[in-house]
Structure 1
Amino acid sequence: MILITGATGHLGTAVLHTLLQKTPASQLAALVRDEAKATDLQARGVHIRVGTYADPAALDRAMQGIEKVLLISGGGDDEALQEHFNVIDAARRAGVRCLAYTSRALQNPATLVNQLMQRHFQTEEYIRASGLAYVLFRNALYMDTLPLFTGPQVLETGIHLPAGQGRVAYALRREMGEAIANVLLTDGCANRTYHFTGSAAYSFHDVAAALTAASGRPVAYTPAGQASFAAGMQQRGVPAVVIERTIGFMTDIQNGQEAQVSSELATILGHQPTALTEGVKLLYQL
């Protein structure tokens, strides 16, 4: 049986969508915080396990009868790293045969400015030290985040971000979910790392050009200075910690951390990932 954690989140939903097409629901379990949000999964025959990454006892119960676990990385809370460790420890105690983890495709963890991303590599190290057989998914930045970066009025205002000429190998979250599910169903868990990225890396100039082509309206990207960008966020009431993380994120993009391109996503999908132009049409409903 395969247990998907974070099963009602965006990525968990995408993984389960493919799994349910390719394997019996009776072979699937979902770890959820709120059982009420999993009624559809339960109706389809998926086993529902209620608990959080912060509750070791609930995790122990969730792991019973499980052969393979997909640990979907948690959020930005201070406790997130320890919560990852809790899931790994519970999997080890239960004798789980294989642990898979959704990490990040970043060029050089040692030089990251956004320290939040370090948790992924600390989690990877903990998994390796656990003695569990594992699969690591180093995923590119979701293309789905572009509307969050550019803002809802991008067709009127253009793009103003402190990312310089940095490039990102975006891929759609649903395609990553599909590929992860394919690996969970076929991989022998031979301590392998997959790099799931788009087939090309794009700058925000490319994003602006794609928006222009899709909308028929001129959209430009103007690289912003960090100080003016931070001041604008502060004026909008954005918390200081969020400003700091956003600046770190954009600096990492500018420094080439997100530019890595791999063919592994295309190989596992059996086709090329959705390119930027088509992705923009979908995500901005153009």
Structure 2
Amino acid sequence: MILVTGATGHLGAAVLQTLLHHTPARAVAALVRDPAKATDLQARGVSIRVGSYTDPASLNQAMRGIDTVLLISGGGDDDGLQQHQNVIDAAHRAGVRRVAYTSRALQSPATLANELMVRHFQTEDYLQASGLGYLIFRNILYMDTLPLFTGPTVLETGINLPAGPGKVAYALRREMGEAMARVLLENPGGNRIYHFTGAAAYSFHDVAAALTQASGRPVAYTDVEPEAFAAGMRQRGVPELAIARTLGFLTDIKHGQEEVVSTDLATVLGRQPTGLFDGVRQLYTL
């Protein structure tokens, strides 16, 4: 049986959609904090396990009868690394055969500006040292985040970000989820690390060009100073922590951290992942 954690989130839902299309629901379990949000999964026959990364006792219960766990990384909590370790420890205690983890595809973990990303590689190290079998899915930045970075008025104001000429090999979250599910179902032997990225890396100049083409309206990208960008966020009432993390993402993009390009996603999907233009049309409803 495969246990998917974070099952009611966007990525968890994408993984489950593919799993349930290719395997009986009785072979799938979902870890959720709020069972009220999983009634549709329960109705389809998925085993609902109620628990939290912060509650080892609930994790112990959730792991019963489980062969493989997909640990979907948690949010930005200060104890996020400990939460991941709690899941891995519970899997070890329960005799789970293998844990898969959703990590990040980045060029140089040692030089990251966004310190939040470091815990992914600390989790990788902990999992690899645990003695459990492992699969690590190093995912590129979701293409789905583009509207968040560019803002809702991008067609009027253009893209104004402190990311320089940095590029990202964006891929859609749902295609990453599909690929993860396919790997879990194919059950490859041995410990493996996958890099799930798009087929090419794109700058925000490229994003602006795709928006121009898709909308028929001129959209330009302007590289702004980080201080000016942060000041604008403060004027909109954005909390300092959110400002710092956003700048961290953009600084790492500027420094080439997200330029990793791999064929792993295309190989697992059996097709090329969605490219920038088609992705932009979908995400911005153009």
Shorter-chain TM-score bucket reads over 0.9
How many residues matched?
286
> What residue ranges of structure 1 are gaps of 5+ in the alignment?
none
> What residue ranges of structure 2 are gaps of 5+ in the alignment?
none
Identity across matched positions, percent:
73
1:242 Cα offset (Å): 1.1
Give the whole-Å Cα distance in 2 for the aligned partners of 1:98 and 1:186.
14
| Matching residue of 1:32 | 32
Give the whole-Å Cα distance in 1 for the aligned partners of 2:134 and 2:281.
36
Residue identity in the other structure for 1:149? F
1:145 Cα offset (Å): 0.4
| Matching residue of 1:82 | 82
Deviations 1:181-215 (A, max 9, x none): 00001133511100000000000000000000000
1:245 Cα offset (Å): 1.1
Deviations 1:78-105 (A, max 9, x none): 0111000000000000010110000000
Pairing 1:151-230 to 2, within 5 Å after superposition:
151-230=151-230
| Matching residue of 1:101 | 101
What TM-score do you get using the length of structure 1 for normalisation?
0.99
Give the whole-Å Cα distance in 2 for the aligned partners of 1:233 and 1:221.
18
Give the whole-Å Cα distance in 2 for the aligned partners of 1:189 and 1:214.
43
| Matching residue of 2:282 | 282
Residue identity in the other structure for 1:157? T
- Per mean C-alpha deviation after superposition, the further-off stretch among 185-194 and 275-284 is 185-194
Q: Are 2:70 and 1:70 aligned? A: yes
**Secondary structure class of the residue paired with 1:134:** strand
Give the whole-Å Cα distance in 1 for the aligned partners of 2:14 and 2:247.
29
Residue identity in the other structure for 2:55? D
User: Root-mean-square deviation (CA), in Å?
Assistant: 0.6
Give the whole-Å Cα distance in 1 for the aligned partners of 2:196 and 2:229.
30
Give the whole-Å Cα distance in 2 for the aligned partners of 1:70 and 1:189.
16
- After TM superposition, where is structure 1 displaced by more than 6 Å over at least 4 residues in a row? none
What TM-score do you get using the length of structure 2 for normalisation?
0.99
Q: Is the 8 A contact 1:135 1:189 kept in 2?
A: no
Give the whole-Å Cα distance in 1 for the aligned partners of 2:247 and 2:282.
27
Give the whole-Å Cα distance in 1 for the aligned partners of 2:52 and 2:219.
43
**Secondary structure class of the residue paired with 2:207:** helix
Give the whole-Å Cα distance in 2 for the aligned partners of 1:215 and 1:236.
27
| Matching residue of 1:138 | 138
Give the whole-Å Cα distance in 2 for the aligned partners of 1:220 and 1:125.
41
Give the whole-Å Cα distance in 1 for the aligned partners of 2:230 and 2:152.
19
- Per mean C-alpha deviation after superposition, the further-off stretch among 234-243 and 199-208 is 234-243
Deviations 1:47-86 (A, max 9, x none): 0000110000000000000000000000001011100000
Pairing 1:229-248 to 2, within 5 Å after superposition:
229-248=229-248
Give the whole-Å Cα distance in 1 for the aligned partners of 2:187 and 2:66.
16
| Matching residue of 1:23 | 23
Q: Is the 8 A contact 1:198 1:273 kept in 2?
A: yes
Deviations 1:115-152 (A, max 9, x none): 00000000000001101000000001100000000000
